Amino acid sequence: MPELVFFSGTMDCGKSTLALQIAHNRSARGLQSVIFTRDDRAGEGKLSSRLGLVTEAVEATPELDLYGFVVERLSRGGKVDYIVVDEAQFLVTEQIDQLARIVDDLDLDVFAFGITTDFRTRLFPGSQRLIELADRVETLQVEAMCWCGARATHNARTVGGEMVVEGEQVVVGDVGAGIVGYEVLCRRHHRKRMTSATARAAALSPDVLPVTSG
Ligand SMILES: Nc1ncnc2c1ncn2[C@@H]1O[C@H](COP(=O)(O)OP(=O)(O)O)[C@@H](O)[C@H]1O
Ligand SMILES: Cc1cn([C@H]2C[C@H](O)[C@@H](COP(=O)(O)O)O2)c(=O)[nH]c1=O
Please write the tens of the pLDDT for every residue from 125-182: 999 999 999 999 999 988 899 999 999 999 999 999 999 999 999 999 998 878 999 9
pTM: 0.94
| Residue 204, pLDDT score | 83
Look up the CATH number of the domain holding residue 158.
3.30.60
Domain count, the chain: 2
The whole-angstrom separation of Cα 141 and Cα 155 is 17
Which residue segment(s) compose the domain that 126 sits in?
Answer: 1-142
Report yes or no: 149 and 143 within 8 Å, Cβ to Cβ.
Answer: no
* Local structure of 23: helix, strand or coil: helix
Question: Looking at the structure, do residues 48 and 7 belong to the same domain, yes or no?
Answer: yes
For ligand 2, atom 14: residue with the closest CA: 11
| Residue 208, pLDDT score | 59
CB atoms within 10 A of CB 137: 15
The catalytic residue among 3, 44, 87, 143 is 87
Question: Looking at the structure, do residues 70 and 127 belong to the same domain, yes or no?
Answer: yes
What Cα–Cα distance (Å) separates residue 70 from each residue in 26, 96, 185?
A: 18, 14, 38
Write down how long the chain is: 214
Question: Looking at the structure, do residues 1 and 83 belong to the same domain, yes or no?
Answer: yes
Question: What integer is the mean pLDDT of 32-38?
Answer: 98
The whole-angstrom separation of Cα 38 and Cα 61 is 7
Instruction: Mark whether 3 is an active-site residue.
Output: no
Question: Looking at the structure, do residues 28 and 92 belong to the same domain, yes or no?
Answer: yes
Which atom of ligand 2 is found nearest the CA of 16? 13
Question: Looking at the structure, do residues 130 and 64 belong to the same domain, yes or no?
Answer: yes
Q: List all residues 6 or more positions away from 47 whose beta carbon is below 8 Å from its beta carbon.
A: 16, 19, 20, 35, 37, 40, 54, 55, 56, 57, 84, 86
For ligand 1, atom 4: residue with the closest CA: 51
Q: Percent of the chain beyond pLDDT 90?
A: 89
Starting from the CA of residue 121, give the closest ligand. Answer: 2
Let me know if residue 118 belongs to a domain.
Answer: yes
CA 85 to ligand 2 centroid distance, Å: 15
CA 12 to ligand 1 centroid distance, Å: 6
Look up the CATH number of the domain holding residue 62.
3.40.50.300
The whole-angstrom separation of Cα 143 and Cα 156 is 16
CA 137 to ligand 1 centroid distance, Å: 21
144 ligand 1 Cβ < 6 A: yes
Let me know if residue 5 belongs to a domain.
Answer: yes
Question: Looking at the structure, do residues 76 and 52 belong to the same domain, yes or no?
Answer: yes
pLDDT at 22 over 90: yes
Let me know if residue 74 belongs to a domain.
Answer: yes
Question: Looking at the structure, do residues 110 and 166 belong to the same domain, yes or no?
Answer: no
Question: Looking at the structure, do residues 108 and 195 belong to the same domain, yes or no?
Answer: no
Question: Looking at the structure, do residues 130 and 153 belong to the same domain, yes or no?
Answer: no
Question: Looking at the structure, do residues 120 and 153 belong to the same domain, yes or no?
Answer: no
Question: Looking at the structure, do residues 138 and 165 belong to the same domain, yes or no?
Answer: no
Q: Which residues are annotated as a binding site for ATP?
A: 9-16, 86-89
Let me know if residue 213 belongs to a domain.
Answer: no
Do strands 136-139 and 109-115 pair parallel, antiparallel, or not at all (unpaired)? unpaired
